[in-house]
Structure 1
Amino acid sequence: MATHPVQVDHELIEAAAHVARTRCGGDTHTMAAAGRARDGRIVTAVNVFHFTGGPCAELVLLGTAAAQGAGELDTVVAVGDRGRGVVPPCGRCRQVLLDLVPTVRVIVGSGDRVRTVPITDLLPESYVWSEHQDQF
């Protein structure tokens, strides 16, 4: 079920784009993410690519926000290096965001189609791990 559109946080996109331009490069860091905390702070992070796997920028962002005491994030966005612009979260990140911050909004799309959607719109009819924790 789609919800009413939410204003796109262009400052958040620019924060992630700035990190992608200035901190990403080579094969290790190719994506940047930014999140707006409920208190208004912007937190940024980059992915850590390694052939054995590695955390996406959105997952590093969750850890960085926790380490900085930012608490839960209201909105997140990922931006690719080399001017790739906004990149939607992968399936793993969608599930982790839904499980850990089920009220988070995600900026997706490109150009004049950039929009902000609830994480639930990116994973309709999904299993929500946090709703079943008591059963384990």
Structure 2
Amino acid sequence: MTTHPHPVDHELIAAAAHVARTRCRGDNHTMAAAGRARDGRIITAVNAYHFTGGPCAELVLIGTAATQGAYELDTIVAVGDRDRGVVPPCGRCRQVLLDYFPALKVIVGTGDRLRTVRITDLLPESYVWADHQLDAERTAPFSTS
């Protein structure tokens, strides 16, 4: 576990809760996510539920951030509609978040037990796709042209 606790970004939680309260309508959009970009901007998104496994709010957030030019996220949180509060990322989202942002912090917990942890704490001893990409770049043959 993390030995240096990270402060909880309450502004980020409030942004996700606001989106969950005002934009989640019916069964298609039941979760909201908010992420803080490295430049301080807050980016929000909602899930797109579908019986075939539509994307979670955290995954939609990755694309939304990229469309706004934010390719590095520092912290992320997901909040459920109907005042369900902070909801931890599912297993698929944990892996994708780790692959995209290996240093990402994630807000988890409820009530007075809210805390910020590294994504690696939520998915310990995992395969990091980003490491594979770096290894491939390091071992790629040099061009002779």
User: TM-score w.r.t. structure 1 length?
Assistant: 0.97
| Cα separation, 1, equivalents of 2:71 and 2:132 | 22
Matched-pair identity in %: 81
1:51 aligns to what?
51
Give the letter aligned to residue 120 of structure 2. Answer: T
1:35 aligns to what?
35
| Cα distance per residue 1:30-58 (max 9 Å; x no partner) | 00000000110000000000111110000
2:7 aligns to what?
7
| Cα separation, 2, equivalents of 1:108 and 1:61 | 17
- Superposition RMSD on alpha carbons, in Å? 1.3
| Cα separation, 2, equivalents of 1:87 and 1:32 | 10
Number of residue-to-residue matches in the alignment: 136
| Cα separation, 2, equivalents of 1:99 and 1:3 | 22
Give 4+ residue runs of structure 1 displaced > 2 Å after superposition: none
Please state whether the residue corresponding to 2:93 is helix, strand or coil: helix
| Cα separation, 1, equivalents of 2:68 and 2:82 | 28
Q: Deviation at 1:8?
A: 0.3
Indicate the structure (1 or 2) with the bigger Cα radius of gyration: 2
Structure 1 residues 1-136: aligned runs within 5 Å: 1-133=1-133, 134=136
| Cα distance per residue 1:87-115 (max 9 Å; x no partner) | 00000000000001101100000000000
Please state whether the residue corresponding to 1:130 is helix, strand or coil: helix
| Cα separation, 2, equivalents of 1:48 and 1:82 | 16
Please state whether the residue corresponding to 1:124 is helix, strand or coil: coil
Please state whether the residue corresponding to 1:35 is helix, strand or coil: strand
| Cα separation, 2, equivalents of 1:119 and 1:90 | 12
Structure 1 gaps, min length 5: none
Structure 2 gaps, min length 5: 140-145
| Cα separation, 2, equivalents of 1:20 and 1:109 | 17
Q: Deviation at 1:3?
A: 2.9
